[in-house]
Homo-oligomer: A and B are copies of this chain.
Amino acid sequence: MKTVDYRVSEVFRAMSHPTRIAILDMLKGGPLCVCQIYPALGLDQSITSKHLGVLRSQGIIRGRKEGLKVTYEITDERYLQVLEAVKEILKRQWYLEGKMWNDSGKDR
């Protein structure tokens, strides 16, 4: 039986890639089709599918097939809260350090 710590580590590992964080950010607004996700990320369908698979295997997102398309959504809103919490911690740290930052060129 896997320990809780081990499962927690798997979840953090799944969330520890910029592309997968970008995917979670996209899903904040609600379910999205794969066909909407990978063009928005500017990535290959194949690579995107693998990242979705990592998040899905950890139960962070779930997909349902609707005809040819697959729509993904967050399984538990608290994963988004966790993500936001870390962003907030870092923003404060950076603020304290007097730094500026941005994501994909967009100012925050």
Contacts and interface: CB of A to CB of B under 8 A. Distances in A.
Interface of A: 1-13, 15-18, 20-22, 25, 59, 76, 78-79, 81-83, 85-91, 93, 99-104, 108
B93 A82 contact: no
Given A1-B102, A3-B103, A13-B13, A8 B86 contact: yes
A1 B93 CA distance: 15
A85 B81 contact: yes
A46 to B, nearest CB: 21
State the copy count for this chain: 2
A85 B82 CA distance: 7
Nearest to A103: B3
By Cβ-Cβ distance, the 4 closest A-B pairs, closest first, are A12-B16, A13-B16, A12-B15, A5-B18
Nearest to A15: B12
